[in-house]
Structure 1
Amino acid sequence: MKNKKVQLILMLIAIIQAATVFFANAQITKIPHGILVKAGGKQIGLTTANDAAFCLSLNDSIALSAIKSVFIDNSNKAAAQFTVISAAPSYGIKTPYGKLMINTGTGTWSLYDAAGRVLIPDGAYSTNGNTVQITYSTKGMLYGSGNRTSKELEKNESASTVWNGAADIPYFWNSLGYSAFGVSANDDKPTTWNRAKGKTDLTWKFTGKEANLYLWPAKTIYDGASGYVKLTGRPKLPPRWAFGYLQSQWGWADSTYVANVATKFRTHTLPVDAFIFDFEWYTTTPDYSLGRDGKVGFTDFTFNPKVFPSPARQIADLKSQGIKFIGIRKPRLGSTTLLDTARKNGWLISPKTDNRDLNYSNSGLRKWYDEKNRPLIKAGVDAWWDDEGESYYTCYYWWNTAQYDLLASARPNYRHFTLNRAFSPGTQRLGYCTWSGDIPSTWPSLAEVPMDLLNFSLAGMYYGSCDIGGFQGTPTKEMLVRWFQAGVFLPIMRSHSNIGTTARFPYLWGTDGEAAMRKALDLRYQLLPYIYSLGHEAYTTGAPIMRPLVMEFPADTTVANMRDEWLVGKGLLAAPVLNEGGKRTIYLPNDTWFNYYTGEVIRGPKTISVDKALDEIPVYVRAGTILPIGPVVQYSEQTSATPLEIHIYPGKNGTFKMVEDDGVSYNYTKGNTRTTTYSWNDATKTLSWKVSGAYAGKNVYKSIKAVLGKAEKTALVGNTGSLVFK
C-alpha cells in the first residue's frame, strides 16, 4: 500500500511538472486547446479556436474564464493539432496554419502564417478601467466590417452597432494576409476597432475586463470568409423559393385585393414566389401612435379579418398558385393586456419606461412568444419579415432564435427564412436575410444598394436584399425598371413600397415598363440553378453569392473599392444601369469577357461605355465560366420538362458544381443533395460531367442542352457524360 501511495505521489508530481513550467517572470500552463501565460501581471490565453483560428484571450482574474458569446458557433467541434513553443522568454503555440507567440518579458505578442511570415509583429494590450485595449501596427487594406460606419469597401473602423438597414461587426480581413474578429464579455456592447486614416496603429476596444481576439492567417478574402464561418457558423440556405422574386408592399387593402393581385401576376406571366404583408395582415391600425400602455383590443397575434377572413384557406389558395406567405413582425407589443403580462414577467427591455420592445434573450419570453405565434405557423405562414429590431445589438439574433425554434417544432425540418433590417455575427447560421432599410425612391438611393450589399457580403451576411423601387416615395418608371434589373443579381430579390405610394407591381407601370420588368424577372428565374448552387457554395466554403471584384482581382487597384458593378459567383459580372438616361461606363478587369446577350468578346482590362434601352441590362461572363440556365417558370417550385441549358464560355478551362436538393428541408446538411460537376476542357473543346449524391426528387434536371456560341448539343445527364464540340 505504501509503495502504491509513493507511486501515486510521483505520478501527480510528474503530471504537474508536465503541465506547468515556472520561469523567473512567467508561468506557462498547458490547457486542452493551448496555453495560459502570466505576463505583465495579466493572465493571457493563447489557444486554437477551431481548425483555422487562434484566440488571444485576456482576463485580469487568476483563472482565465471562457467568454460565452452567441457570435461563436459552438457546434463546430473541430480542433487543430498544436505544439507548444517554449524558448524563454517567448512562448506560444504552432499549428498547421501558423503560430501565435508572446514575449513574457515585454508582453509583446505576434502572429505568423504557416510559412513563418510575420503578420503582426508588435501586439500589445492594456486595461483602462472597465475597458481592455489590444493594439498593434498593421498596414494593408482592411475589408469586412459592414456598412454602418462607411459604405466604402475599404475600412478604417467599425463602430459595431446596428441601425435601419445598417450593421457593423467587429471583423476585418487585411490584405497583408490575416483576419481578425473581436468578442467582448457582453455581446450587446460589442468590440470596436479603429485605425486612423493614413496611419498604421490599430486599436481594438473591449468593454469589460475580458477580451477574446480571434486571429487567423488568410491570404485571400475567400480564406478570411472561410475562417469566419468556421468561427461564427455556416450560412444556412433559405428555402429555394426565397431565391425567386418576393413581392412586398404596405397597403394590401382587403382579401379581394390580395386575390386580384395574385391573378394579375399569373395572367400577366410575371414570375413571383411570395407576397409579403405589412401591418395590415394582423392589425387594422399601425401601433406607432400607441403609448406606454398600448391599446385595449389591439391584435398582435391574429389575422386581420378584413384582409384574411379565412386565413388558412386563403393562404392555401395562394400556395396552390406557387405564392408563399411572409408576414411582418415588430419587436414590440401593442395590446394592453399582453403588455401587462410582459411587464409582470420582466420581458421588456426597459420595463419602467415607455418602451414596449421585447427582450428576446429571455428564455421565458421566447417560450411565450412561441405559444402566441404557433397558430400562425399552423395556418400556413411560411416566413417572417422582422422590422425595427435595432434596440439592442443581438435583438435580431434572439428574435430569430425564437422563430427558428418555433418553426422547428411546429413544422419540423422546414427551412427558416426571415427578412431583417440589420444583423450581428452568427445570424447567418439561422437562414437569415438582411435588407438595406427604409430607403427613399431616388437614383442616389438605387446607386447605394450595391454599396450596402457588397459590404454585407464581406461582413458575413450572405443574403442581402433591398426595397426594389425604394420605400419612401414613388419612383419614375425608368428608375423602377433599372431597380428591378439590379435586383436580378442580388442574393434575394424583393420589392417594397410605403402605404399611399404606387405599388411595385410591374403591371401598373405601363406596357413598356411591364415588359422590361418581366424580362428582368425571367432572367432571374433562368439564373436560379446558378444562384441557388452558389448558396450551397456559401454554406460549404463561406464564399458569398454577391462578390466585389476585388475578391477575384486583388492586385487590380481599379477595383479595390468598386461598388457599382459586382460578380455573382466567380464568372458573372453584373453592371446594371444605376442612373437616369441609360448610359454608364463599365470596367472589365484583366480577363476575357463575353457580352451575355450578344456573345461579343471583350479583352480586359478595359473601360467601355454603354447606352442601354429600357429593357437592356449590361451583363458579362468571364472566360472559363460554365453557366447553368434554367427555363422560364412562374415560380421556383414549378417543374419543367425543358432541358437545362449549360452555357460554356471558352478561352480557359472551367468547372461548376450545380447542386440540387428538395429546396425546403435541412436534409442538405446531411448530404442529401445531387451535385453535378460540369467541367470544360478548352484544348479538346469537351464538356464533361459527373453526378454525385443520392438526392433524386422530381425537380432534378434529367437532360441538358450544352451551348457554345451558336453551337448546341443535347444529352441525357445520367451519372457521367461528355460532349465534344469540334
Structure 2
Amino acid sequence: MKNNIFMKRVKLLVSLLLVLAVSIQAQSYQKTDLGIKTKINSTDVEIQFFSPTTVRILKSPVGKPFKKESLTVIKKPQATKLAISQQGDIVSLKSNKLKVDVDVKSGKVSYSTLVGAKLLSEKEASATFTDFDDAGSKTYTVNQSFTLDKDEAVYGLGQQQRGKLSLRNEKINMVQGNTDDYVPFLVSTKGYGLFWDNYSPTTFEDKPESTSFRSDVGDCIDYYFMLGGSIDGSIACMRDLSGQAPMFPLWTFGYWQSKERYKSQNELVGVVNKYRELGVPLDGIIQDWQYWGNNYLWNAMDFLNTEFPAPKKMVEDIHKQNAHVIISIWNSFGPQTKQYREMKPKGMLLNFGTWPQSGLEAWPPNREYPSGVEPYDVYNPEARDIYWKYLNKGLFSVGIDGWWMDSSEPDHLDFKPSDFDLKTYLGSFRKVRNAFPLMTVGGVSEHQRATSSDKRVFILTRSAFAGQQRYGANTWSGDVNSSWQSLRNQIPAGLNFSMSAIPYWNTDIGGFFASAYNRGWNEGAKNPAFQELYVRWLQFGAFTPMMRSHGTDIPREIYNFGKKGEPIYDAIAKSIDLRYSLLPYIYSAAWDITNSQSTMMRALVMDFSDKNVVNTNNEYMFGKSILVAPIVNAQYTPETILRANAETGWDKKEATDNAKNQAVSFAQPKSTKVYLPEGTSWYDFWTNEKVKGGQEITKSTTIDEIPLFIKAGSIIPFGPQVQYATEKKWDNLEIRVYPGANGEFSLYEDENDNYNYEKGAYSTITFTWNDASKSLIINNRKGSFPGMITSRKFNVAVIAAGKKIEKAVTYTGKKVVVKL
C-alpha cells in the first residue's frame, strides 16, 4: 500500500517536471505580430517576416535598446501567416514559402525551403559585438558569419574593379570610392538574396570555412534574407523592400556625347549642330564642370563663367535640334557660393579634403591657395532642401533636362581617421558613410518629382547604395583608366552592379584618363592604339543601359576620328545606328524592369543552368534575347599596359615626341572565341547562321562588328533609322523572329516622357511565336495613351536557313495571326 502511494507520488512528480520543462521550453521565445523575439545567451534576437519570402533578422546585446530606421528599406512589413513550433532547441517559423529555424541554445539561424532543401545558415556563435567608441557614442563593431555550400556562387555587392564575377574567395573592403560603388546585397545561385543593412565601412570576406560581413559601427546586426527562387526573383524581393525603378525618358536610351569639358556654350551647341550636319544620331550632350567659373565658386549651380553668357538660349538652341542637355553638379561647395554661405552657419558642411583641393586650376594642386571646398551634409533634410532651392533656381528653371551628379560618394582626399568622427545629421560620418550617394541622389530626385511631373527624373551619378534604383538614377563606373584591362574590368563590374538590384549602369566609353595615347601623336584620336580601344569600348557601350562617350585628354566626338568612308569613323557610326535600331527592344526592356523587376544587363548565370557560365566575365545577355561578347583584347595594335588614377591621371604631361607612328590597317578580319550557353540554339546576328549551344566557337570579327548572338525563340522589334529617339513613330517596325523554340515579347509604348504611365497611360502589344506551327500571334493591344498609333504596319521577318522570310501585316490593335 505504502509502496503504491510512493510510486504514484513519483509519477506525479515526474509529470510535474515534464509539464514544467515544456512550460520553460514554451517560454524560450515570445511571439510577435511579425515573428518571434528571444534571448539567447547574451543576445536579443528578433525574427521579423516582411512577406512570405523575406525575413529580417535583428540581433543586439541583451538589455541594450536601440532605435533604427532604415535608409534603404521603405517597405512596411505585411501580415504573414506563420506556423511557429518548437522541437528541442529548434524554434521553426514557416510561411507558405520559407522555413526559418532558430537554435535557441547556440543562436544559429538557418533557412530552408518547405521541402527541406537547405539554403543558408549562420555559423554557430558567429554574431559578435565588440565595444566601439564612435565619436563619443558607445556602440559596437558588428560581425555575422554564414556557411555557404562549396559549389555555390554569389554575386553583387555593387561595382568592383576586380575583373572577376563571382564573389567567392574574395575579401572586399567596402568604403565608397571613385570607381568602386558598394551595395551590401548579394544573390546566390541557390535562389536567395542577402541584404546587410549597415552604412558604415564594411568588410565582406569569403573563406572556405565561412562567409562574413563585418561593419565598423552598428547598434545591432540587421540583415534581410529573401527567397527569390532565382537570381531574378531575389532581385525582385530586394526591390520590393527598397523601391521599384521608375521609367526613364526614351531619349535617355539614345547616344550621348560628352567630354571633360566644353568650355563655352558655343562649343557645346556646336557639337550638337555638327552631329546633325553629319547625320549621326545624337540625343544628349553633357556640360561638365566650371561653367560656374573659378574653384572658389565651385558648384555654384549658376552660369557665372563669361563663356556661358546666355544659358537659357543655349538650352533652347539644343532643344531646337531635338537634343537634350544634362549638366554637372557636385555634392560640395566653394566658399564664395551662396550655398556654402547659407549652409556653413547652420553646421551643414563636412570639413574634410575633397575635390578640388586648390583654388587654382593648375596641377598639381597648389596647397598655398586651398579651395576651401567642403561637401554638404546630405543626411540633413534641410540641407537637401537648400541644395534643391539653388538647383531649381539656377539650372532647372532654364530648362536643363537632367543631372550629372559627380563625386557622389564623395571624393575623400587626404583621408584622416578623425574625418569619420565628423558629425552629420544622423550621427558620425563613420556611421552613415556608405549611404552618402543614396541620400544626395534621393534629395534631388524627390525634390524634382515634387516640383514637376512633366519631365521624368534622370540622374547620371558616380556612386550608388542599396535602394538607389527608386530615384531614377543611372550610375557610371567612375574615372576609369583608358586601357584594355580597364575595359575588361567593366563587364563584371556592370554585371555585379546589376545583380545588386540596381538595373541602370554605364561607363565612360574609351575610359576617362587617356593622356598616354597622346604621347607621340599630335592628336590622340588619330593614334591607332586608341582608335581600336575606343571602337571596341563603344561597341560594348552600345549594349549597356546608357551609351555615353566621355573622357579627358582625347576628344571623343566622331569627327575627331576621321570622316565617312574611313574604317574607324564608319565603325563608330555603325554602332550608334545599331543602338537606335534597337530602341523599341531597349525601351520595352526598361518597362520590364519597372513593371516586372527585370534586369537589362544580365550575367549568363541568370538565364542558363550551365556550369560553364558561373564565372563568365566577358559575355552577358542584353535584355533576354541578345548575347553580347565584346572584343576585350587588342587585335590590330599592341596592347600596352597603362595604369592611372585620379592623382596620376590629372598629371597631363606634354608629349615630347610628335612624330607619328606607323599607320595601322583595320581592313583585315580577325577572330575571337565565344562560348554559347547550352540549353538553346543561337543565331549569329550578322550572318543569321544557326549554331548549337553548349560549345565554344571561333567567331570571325571585323573592326566594325563584335560577336552578337540571338537566342532561339526570340522576337526582337527593330526601329527606323533616325537622328534622335523620337524623330519617327514606330509605325513600321520590323519584327524579327528567331525560330527553334516558342517565344514571347511585349512591345511597350507610352508618351516617352512624363509620369502619365504611372496612371495607366501606356500600351503593350504581345507577340507570341508558336514554333511547332511556325506562326506569330500579334495579340490584342492592351492599354492606350494620347498620341498612340492606332493603325500601323509590322514587317514580320522569320530567320530560316540563314535567310529572312518576310511578310508585311497591317495591325489596328486587334489580334492577328501570321503564318510563315
What TM-score comes out, normalization by structure 1 length?
Answer: 0.89
1:271 corresponds to 2:307: no
Judge conservation of contact 1:147–1:166 (CA < 8 Å) in 2.
yes
The residue that corresponds to 2:49 in the other structure is 48
The verdict on how the C-alpha distance between 1:472 and 1:704 changes in structure 2, with shifts beyond 3 A counting, is same
1:216 corresponds to 2:226: yes
The residue that corresponds to 2:128 in the other structure is 126
The verdict on how the C-alpha distance between 1:715 and 1:308 changes in structure 2, with shifts beyond 3 A counting, is farther
Secondary structure of the residue aligned to 1:279 is: coil
The residue that corresponds to 2:10 in the other structure is none
Judge conservation of contact 1:26–1:39 (CA < 8 Å) in 2.
no
Larger Rg: 2
- Post-superposition CA distance 1:588-646 (Å, at most 9, x none): 12221111122111112222223322222321101000111111211112223651111
Judge conservation of contact 1:179–1:218 (CA < 8 Å) in 2.
yes
1:11-410 to 2 correspondences below 5 Å: 23=24, 26-62=27-63, 67-74=68-75, 78-121=78-121, 123-124=123-124, 125-129=127-131, 130-139=140-149, 140-148=152-160, 150-156=162-168, 157-184=171-198, 187=199, 189=200, 191-196=202-207, 199-206=208-215, 207-280=217-290, 282-285=291-294, 287=295, 295=296, 300-304=300-304, 306-336=306-336, 338=338, 339-350=340-351, 356-375=374-393, 376-391=395-410, 392-410=433-451
Judge conservation of contact 1:268–1:507 (CA < 8 Å) in 2.
no
The residue that corresponds to 2:540 in the other structure is 486
What residue ranges of structure 2 are gaps of 5+ in the alignment? 1-21, 132-139, 355-371, 411-432, 515-523, 636-669
- Post-superposition CA distance 1:285-331 (Å, at most 9, x none): 4x3xxxxxxx3x66712114544322222212211212111001121
Of stretches 369-378 and 35-44 in structure 1, the one that deviates more from structure 2 is 35-44
- Post-superposition CA distance 1:365-423 (Å, at most 9, x none): 11111211112101101111111122332222121122113312332353211111111
Judge conservation of contact 1:147–1:167 (CA < 8 Å) in 2.
yes
The residue that corresponds to 2:592 in the other structure is 537
The residue that corresponds to 1:718 in the other structure is 812
| Aligned-pair CA distance for 1:433 | 0.9
- Post-superposition CA distance 1:243-273 (Å, at most 9, x none): 1111111231323322322121112111111
Judge conservation of contact 2:50–2:77 (CA < 8 Å) in 1.
no
The residue that corresponds to 1:667 in the other structure is 756
Secondary structure of the residue aligned to 2:723 is: coil
Aligned-partner Cα distance in 1 for 2:622–2:499:
14
Aligned-partner Cα distance in 1 for 2:74–2:816:
41
Judge conservation of contact 2:446–2:471 (CA < 8 Å) in 1.
no
Judge conservation of contact 1:468–1:495 (CA < 8 Å) in 2.
yes
Secondary structure of the residue aligned to 1:397 is: helix
Aligned-partner Cα distance in 2 for 1:642–1:615:
29
The verdict on how the C-alpha distance between 1:149 and 1:560 changes in structure 2, with shifts beyond 3 A counting, is same
Aligned-partner Cα distance in 2 for 1:247–1:346:
38
Q: What is the one-letter code of the residue matched to 2:142? A: V
The residue that corresponds to 2:689 in the other structure is 600
Secondary structure of the residue aligned to 1:385 is: strand
Aligned-partner Cα distance in 2 for 1:370–1:219:
41
Aligned-partner Cα distance in 2 for 1:204–1:217:
19
Judge conservation of contact 1:571–1:622 (CA < 8 Å) in 2.
yes
Aligned-partner Cα distance in 1 for 2:785–2:155:
41
| Aligned-pair CA distance for 1:507 | 5.6
The verdict on how the C-alpha distance between 1:439 and 1:625 changes in structure 2, with shifts beyond 3 A counting, is same
Judge conservation of contact 1:145–1:158 (CA < 8 Å) in 2.
no
Secondary structure of the residue aligned to 1:360 is: coil
The residue that corresponds to 1:681 in the other structure is 770
Secondary structure of the residue aligned to 2:697 is: strand
What TM-score comes out, normalization by structure 2 length?
Answer: 0.80
| Aligned-pair CA distance for 1:564 | 1.4
Judge conservation of contact 2:161–2:179 (CA < 8 Å) in 1.
no
The residue that corresponds to 1:9 in the other structure is none
Judge conservation of contact 1:22–1:28 (CA < 8 Å) in 2.
no
Of stretches 81-90 and 676-685 in structure 1, the one that deviates more from structure 2 is 81-90
The verdict on how the C-alpha distance between 1:81 and 1:535 changes in structure 2, with shifts beyond 3 A counting, is farther
- Post-superposition CA distance 1:493-519 (Å, at most 9, x none): 101021x42233346433322222111
Judge conservation of contact 1:497–1:504 (CA < 8 Å) in 2.
no
The residue that corresponds to 2:557 in the other structure is 504
Secondary structure of the residue aligned to 1:378 is: helix
Judge conservation of contact 1:85–1:92 (CA < 8 Å) in 2.
yes
The verdict on how the C-alpha distance between 1:86 and 1:671 changes in structure 2, with shifts beyond 3 A counting, is farther
Judge conservation of contact 1:161–1:169 (CA < 8 Å) in 2.
no
| Aligned-pair CA distance for 1:87 | 3.6
- Post-superposition CA distance 1:125-166 (Å, at most 9, x none): 333321333223221111122333733111034433221122
Judge conservation of contact 2:477–2:505 (CA < 8 Å) in 1.
yes
Aligned-partner Cα distance in 1 for 2:697–2:392:
54
Q: What is the one-letter code of the residue matched to 2:331? A: P
Aligned-partner Cα distance in 2 for 1:122–1:337:
51
Q: What is the one-letter code of the residue matched to 1:284? A: G
The count of residues paired between Structure 1 and Structure 2 equals 688
| Aligned-pair CA distance for 1:521 | 0.8
The residue that corresponds to 1:583 in the other structure is 671
The verdict on how the C-alpha distance between 1:352 and 1:423 changes in structure 2, with shifts beyond 3 A counting, is closer
Aligned-partner Cα distance in 2 for 1:127–1:258:
55
Judge conservation of contact 1:688–1:720 (CA < 8 Å) in 2.
no
Judge conservation of contact 1:247–1:275 (CA < 8 Å) in 2.
yes
Judge conservation of contact 2:260–2:550 (CA < 8 Å) in 1.
yes
| Aligned-pair CA distance for 1:105 | 2.7
Judge conservation of contact 1:246–1:272 (CA < 8 Å) in 2.
yes
The residue that corresponds to 1:290 in the other structure is none
Aligned-partner Cα distance in 1 for 2:78–2:122:
29
| Aligned-pair CA distance for 1:217 | 2.4
| Aligned-pair CA distance for 1:568 | 0.9
Q: What is the one-letter code of the residue matched to 1:201? A: S
Aligned-partner Cα distance in 1 for 2:267–2:108:
67
Aligned-partner Cα distance in 2 for 1:385–1:352:
21
Aligned-partner Cα distance in 2 for 1:183–1:149:
23
Calculate percent identity across the aligned residue pairs. Answer: 27
Judge conservation of contact 1:183–1:191 (CA < 8 Å) in 2.
no
1:421 corresponds to 2:458: no
The verdict on how the C-alpha distance between 1:97 and 1:641 changes in structure 2, with shifts beyond 3 A counting, is closer
Of stretches 251-260 and 97-106 in structure 1, the one that deviates more from structure 2 is 251-260
Aligned-partner Cα distance in 1 for 2:603–2:156:
11
The verdict on how the C-alpha distance between 1:387 and 1:337 changes in structure 2, with shifts beyond 3 A counting, is closer
What residue ranges of structure 1 are gaps of 5+ in the alignment? 1-20, 288-294
Judge conservation of contact 2:190–2:230 (CA < 8 Å) in 1.
no
Aligned-partner Cα distance in 2 for 1:502–1:569:
31
1:586-665 to 2 correspondences below 5 Å: 586-590=674-678, 591-640=680-729, 642-665=731-754
The residue that corresponds to 1:525 in the other structure is 580
